Structure 1
Amino acid sequence: MNVFDVEKESTLKYKKKHLLNFSSNDYLGLSKNKALLKQLNQQIKLQISQCSSRLISGSSTKIERLEKNLSSHRDTQSTLIFSNGYMANLGVLSALGDKETVIFSDRLNHASIIDGCKLSNSQVNIFPHNDCSILEELVKKTSTKKKIIITEGIFSMDGDFSKLKEISKISKEYDCILIVDDAHGDFIVGNNTLKNYSGTPAYFNISKEVDVHISSLSKGLGCFGGYVGSSKIICKYLINKSRPFIFTSALPDFLCEIADIALTNAKKGTHQQKLYDNIDYFHKLIDEYNILNVKKIRYSPIIPIIIGSEKKAMDISTKLLKKGFYVQAIRYPTVNKNQARLRVSLSAEHNKHQIYNLLNILSRILK
């Protein structure tokens, strides 16, 4: 496992070498935002942690304020803060699923969803990635009363959007519970008219069709933690039944306060516009350098460059490292065999000079 030290802006220190980081999920660059860091120093003066679970003495006005503001952000009745996004997925699926439930899960869903499905004791049907016709066939022939469909908003390794409009129609027609893990779309995209950056369901104008919104505070928001937005009755049920919520320490108050400040900052839209410009510029250069096997997906900060061979992907990643660029090679079992890739994560923090240098070097390596 490589060990890195964070430096200023989008750089890392690795074995005395300075690297440009193209593998972070800090899409808006908020984790190193100077105004937020200044606020952080003020927020941590009283205590580091409540050192207690929410149901003992860990709940606070600061957590509740963040939950209220996230409910407004996602347009849900209620919100619960979890320790991280992984635990949010485990907590929701293990609580809502049971032996009388059938879960329909996209083949490319994140490991936390896969693990949550296992913990639920439900029957799990995997449908091919974004294949709504097969999803509908599977749902239609299921006689079980309680059905859950779960998908991601933007997929973490492919960077593409879920077909949420089609999936929400299937969910509604066949009376399913629709769950969306929007860790990589939240705060990045949203309703284009309202400019609310409320995530992928808002982008497709189907927010009200989603029964449970799951997301992260440690990606687009640049902070730490996870959350679940839903109806009041589902959130109350999770408080009483979700073991990852009940039996773990509450998210520290200072992290909740800084996330609240970051949320206000993210709503301005300036960071998103810079990110969108970087994404457009990246794809423009991809075309100019004729780099193949790259999907052009507008607004998605995750850009996989499919290499195929696991060894070749690792070799290219190592060569980029030597040239001062950290781009992680993703290989089996995270992705399918012979689908190894360089997973480029763009941030509002990157500048065009850095992006140009990365693709200039990469194009030479690929020749």
Structure 2
Amino acid sequence: MSWAEWFAAQRAAREAAGLHRTLRPRAAGDGFIDLASNDYLGLSGDPGVRRAAAEAALVWGAGAGASRLVTGTTTLHTELERELAEFTGREAALVFSTGYHANLSAVTALADRDAMIVSDAHVHASLIDAARLSRAAVRVVPHNDVAAVRAALAAAGGRRALVLTESVFSVLGDAAPLAELTGVCAEHDALLVVDEAHGLGVAGDGGRGLLHGLGLSRQPHVVMTATLSKSLGAMGGAVLGSAALIDHLVNRARPFIFDTGLAPAPTAGALAALRTLRARPDLPARIHERGAALAERLDVPRSAGAVLSVPMPSPHVAVTAQAEALAAGVRVGCFRPPSVPDGISRLRVTTHAGLDEERWARAVDVLARVAAQSSSSASATKIPAGPRTQQSR
């Protein structure tokens, strides 16, 4: 079979299963109500955040110009790292060009052939890839199963161990049992790596994250990763923890060492957004108020963050429902295998704190109608998902 034939066969198989994806460019100011993006607090469009990003580009240039260890570290980076650490209650922070790079760096710099990784079955693809690249032994445990984590750590055989989880999971919007996991890791001298991508800006006191909200931010064996591209509305990622951890990453994390530094504009934008978040604790509060009301209207579980998951009977129905919402002026996410950890296609709706009441109410009405038409809530939950692992995803 030639490459052209192989590509055609692959596409045909995806289309038959309802799993083919295409890029859909959006125009600035297109008028749609966007509940598909992760800009939960609306800070990407905040005038102060925009101004800070634009001014940084004018002062520093369009790019960082080099890796962080050469000349790519600016005073903007160090200022952002200091304020991120202070805001989340961590000793130190290190900023990366993406959240994906942050997770790759944290895991691959801490784990090697002599280590063991215990990974929740629902973690993000970046953590899955990081575990694979680390060359450590990997044990995938059922979602949020503390007993399974404890058993896996007990069988580590003296190896250094990492436990991987998210604070608020990116598809289902549920929270990890962080207090219990922190205790189990302390018992077995394991590091707990918590991805707060969907917790920062939404969960905890004033959006400081779920770790901070549970009083776990100062635990020495807890490593926090985050992204600057969701609640903070910019771009980039960060790892937060002890000064010793950050020093180790600077010296050993290949995705950090060999990557060009985060550009000045998103660095300054994230810093301005963080300061806005600190000054406006009403924004995370609005997320939870609106999210609770929307979950009740759609008859789906409430979210620990800003993500609501609406099950669909099939990938085809999910795509149709997404198109119907778009035709009514509301953009929502459509997650299908392999992007969903349980194998069930879903509409992924993100609560938005930046919308005025009129546009928010209109979006809620559209979503309720689309969900009712698809009859998703009753039927999709009966679909057997089957076991999901990092390997199968």
Output the TM-score relative to the length of structure 1: 0.90
Q: 2:113 aligns with which of 83, 86, 99?
A: 99
Quote the offset at 1:169 in angstroms: 0.8
Q: 1:296 aligns with which of 288, 296, 302?
A: 302
The aligned residue for residue 163 of structure 2 is 149
Percent identity, please.
Answer: 28
Inter-partner Cα distance in structure 1 for 2:323 and 2:26: 18
Structure 1 SS opposite 2:295: helix
With 80-89 and 274-283 compared, the bigger mean Cα shift is at: 274-283
The aligned residue for residue 35 of structure 1 is 48
1:68 is the counterpart of 2:70: no
The aligned residue for residue 339 of structure 1 is 344
Q: Deviations over 1:109-135 (max 9, x none)?
A: 000000000110100000000011111
Inter-partner Cα distance in structure 1 for 2:343 and 2:62: 45
Quote the offset at 1:336 in angstroms: 4.8
Q: What is the letter of the counterpart of residue 141 of structure 2?
A: F
Quote the offset at 1:232 in angstroms: 1.1
Q: 2:284 aligns with which of 254, 272, 284?
A: 272
8 Å CA contact retained: 1:187, 1:220: yes
Is the alpha carbon distance of 1:338 and 1:198 closer, same or farther for their aligned partners in structure 2, counting shifts above 3 Å? Answer: closer
Q: What is the letter of the counterpart of residue 301 of structure 2?
A: K
Give matches, 1:220-259, under 5 Å.
220-259=231-270
Quote the offset at 1:6 in angstroms: 4.6
Inter-partner Cα distance in structure 2 for 1:335 and 1:42: 39
The aligned residue for residue 201 of structure 2 is 187
Q: 1:362 aligns with which of 365, 370, 391?
A: 370
With 156-165 and 327-336 compared, the bigger mean Cα shift is at: 327-336
Q: What is the letter of the counterpart of residue 244 of structure 1?
A: P
Output the TM-score relative to the length of structure 2: 0.84
Q: Deviations over 1:30-65 (max 9, x none)?
A: 001122223333222121123111111111211111
Quote the offset at 1:355 in angstroms: 3.2
Q: 1:206 aligns with which of 199, 213, 216?
A: 216
8 Å CA contact retained: 2:54, 2:265: no
8 Å CA contact retained: 2:206, 2:284: no
Gaps of 5+ in 1: none
Q: 1:218 aligns with which of 218, 224, 229?
A: 229
Inter-partner Cα distance in structure 1 for 2:84 and 2:148: 34
Aligned length: 348
Q: What is the letter of the counterpart of residue 31 of structure 1?
A: S
Structure 1 SS opposite 2:312: strand
Q: What is the letter of the counterpart of residue 35 of structure 1?
A: G
Gaps of 5+ in 2: 1-21, 376-393
Quote the offset at 1:26 in angstroms: 0.4
Is the alpha carbon distance of 1:2 and 1:357 closer, same or farther for their aligned partners in structure 2, counting shifts above 3 Å? Answer: farther
Inter-partner Cα distance in structure 2 for 1:5 and 1:228: 31
Runs of 4+ in structure 1 deviating by more than 3 angstroms, as ranges, are none
The aligned residue for residue 173 of structure 1 is 187
1:84 is the counterpart of 2:98: yes
Q: What is the letter of the counterpart of residue 19 of structure 1?
A: F
Is the alpha carbon distance of 1:137 and 1:54 closer, same or farther for their aligned partners in structure 2, counting shifts above 3 Å? Answer: same
1:54 is the counterpart of 2:62: no
